[in-house]
Amino acid sequence: MDFETIIAGFASSLTLANLVFICLGVIVGIVVGAIPGLNGPMAIAICVPLTFVLDPLTAIAFLIGINKGANYGGSVSAILINVPGAAEAMATTFDGYPLARLGKGLKALKMSLYASVWGDTFSDLVLILVAAPFAIMALKMGPSELFAVLLFALTFIAALVGSSATKGIIAAIAGVFLSTVGLDPEASTPRMTFGQLDLEEGVPLLALIVGMLALSEILIQIEEGWRTRHAKEPEQRVSVFDAKGDDRRVTWPEFRGCLRTIFRSSIIGTVIGALPGLGSTLAGFLGYGAAKRASKTPDEFGKGKLEGVAAAEAANSAVVGANLIPTLSLGIPGNLSAAILLGALIIHGVQPGPMIFESHGELIYGIFGAMLVANFANLLIGHGGLRVFAYIISLPNRYIHPVIVLMCFAGTYLTTQSMLAIGVMVGFALLGYIMRKLDYSIVAFIIAFIMGPMTEDALRQTMVLFGDRPTELLTRPITMVFFALTAYSLWRFVVGRKPQILAEPN
């Protein structure tokens, strides 16, 4: 790829329209992330239909802004009311809420913001440096290698997310099976369309994502609201308006004292993010645990130590950029947010995979530029709006739920102009609700659904090439290595034990 394409890509991210939508996305993301029960993937799914009138770069930049804003926004409620707005902020509550109880909530929020932006920027730089070489390496793989990699990714993600490896694998198999609905890619004959012309292009991706993520979550929250209607009121959020002096800010000595921890957590989060399926939740806990082990005063962790907040937030935020490494280079989404972004790229006519840097080089480097701009916007907007975001989390759900439901229905219909898509969305909302209640992984289901067509194509090409001489696969070392890893991951996670910390990462 020539240098002019890279420069043109980064320059295209600085247009007025892109800057406005990036900032708007960050605001939406922080607000959604700060409200307990809502999360970044839900916000991205709901807003995908709003991007259809935008060009691809502006659309993806807007969604990236939401993703980055939501990842930080989860720490707001984690610090102020001890309820993480998203799962990745769970480790932030350990020291964030004790700091708020000590009257240092504003200080904790600012350290969370600084560490989050630092970790996010670090992983973005790694993405920019690594993604293209990684895609070049991927181009050297044939269909059998690609199928082996995709199969390993599917089993690895399915076995790792959720509380049960078996249920995760079942959900992934169901997702792949559902992805075969539509016209056969070779024979162009309908498969499981039941005479519905609207299904010949497959199950509407947006209807599936919105139904399973947004509407099913609303159903869960409504049910929980009915159950707790007569329960005692939850603990009120801690006010940040009463802080005085140094309790209102992070001093330079305090930030400098956390720099080593932030850098360590950024590396941990980047490595975790580059491995599909692990997610921000694990990164936050590992970053926090590493900081506690390296500290000279580990007994102070959990009692209101600023370093604990920095460690958790830098680690979980570093996942955001790194999980796009396999997403863009191989078409394998690193987590649920990356899966929805991958779906948005496909909807806008961009097919992720090894050829993406060759066919859409300027767009990809425009996205990289937008990610860096979004970090800067996150810092400015997050810092300037801390008090506003702290107030927003107190809004009752009776004002929030109707707006979300309306956006789900309107967005899905405007996208497809089909009432069938509305029915599909409602159907998947009910399926998502049932899967949540039975503890089946909707993350594994959605990621497998998106990866299904690519896996089918790679399998069919492999069968054409090696169907008459399957023993030749033994001469393909990469293929055999990933087949072996697939078998090992199935044995390890189905027969063996898995850490409970990995329950359904976002």
- Residues 316-354 pLDDT 10s: 899 888 888 888 887 877 777 888 888 888 888 888 877
The three-class DSSP label of residue 191 is strand
Averaged pLDDT score across all residues of the chain: 81
Between 421 and 112, the higher pLDDT residue: 112
Whether residue 18 is contained in a domain is answered as yes
pLDDT at 505: 39
Is residue 375 within 8 Å of residue 120, measured between CB atoms? Answer: yes
Does 235 reside within a domain?
Answer: no
Closest to 68 measured CA to CA, from 337, 272, 261: 337
Whether 406 contacts 177, CB under 8 Å: no
Asked if residue 307 is part of any domain, the answer here is yes
482-494 average pLDDT score: 79
Q: What is the CA radius of gyration of the chain?
A: 22
Residue 136, burial from CB neighbour count under 10 angstroms (0-12, 13-18, 19+): middle
Examine residue 505 and state whether it is found in any structural domain, yes or no: no
The set of residues, in sequence order, having a beta carbon less than 8 Å from that of 411 and lying 6+ positions away, is 46, 47, 48, 49, 50, 206, 210
pLDDT of residue 374: 94
- Which residue from 146, 33, 237, 94 is spatially nearest to 461, judged by alpha carbons? 146
> Torsion angle, CA of 115/116/117/122, rounded to 10 degrees?
90
Give the total number of structural domains in the chain: 1
Q: Evaluate if residue 153 carries a pLDDT over 50.
A: yes
- Please name the amino acid found at residue 115: A
Residue 125: how many other CB atoms lie within 10 Å: 16
For residue range 204-244, what is the model confidence (pLDDT) as tens digits? 877 887 788 778 878 887 887 776 665 544 444 455 555 56
* Maximum average pLDDT range among 234-243, 253-262, 414-423, 474-483: 253-262
| Burial environment of residue 480 by CB neighbours within 10 A (0 to 12, 13 to 18, 19 or more) | middle
Considering the domain boundaries, does residue 503 fall inside one? Answer: no
C-beta of residue 60 within 8 angstroms of C-beta of residue 360: no
Per-residue confidence (pLDDT) for residue 393, from 0 to 100: 63
Indicate whether 11 belongs to any domain.
yes
Residue type, 473: L
Q: Which domain holds residue 176?
A: 3-229+243-498
Q: In whole angstroms, what is the distance from residue 64 CA to residue 74 CA?
A: 16
- Spatial distance between the Cα atoms of 444 and 170, rounded to a whole number of angstroms: 9
Residue 506 counted as domain residue: no
User: What is the signed CA dihedral for 401, 407, 413, 416, rounded to 10 degrees?
Assistant: -120
Residues comprising the chain, all counted: 506
CB-based contacts of 185-193 (< 8 A; 24+ apart in sequence): 185/453, 185/456, 185/457, 185/460, 186/460
Quick check: is 173 in a domain?
yes
pLDDT of residue 235: 47
CA atoms within 13 A on the CB side of 96: 33
Confidence (pTM)? 0.75
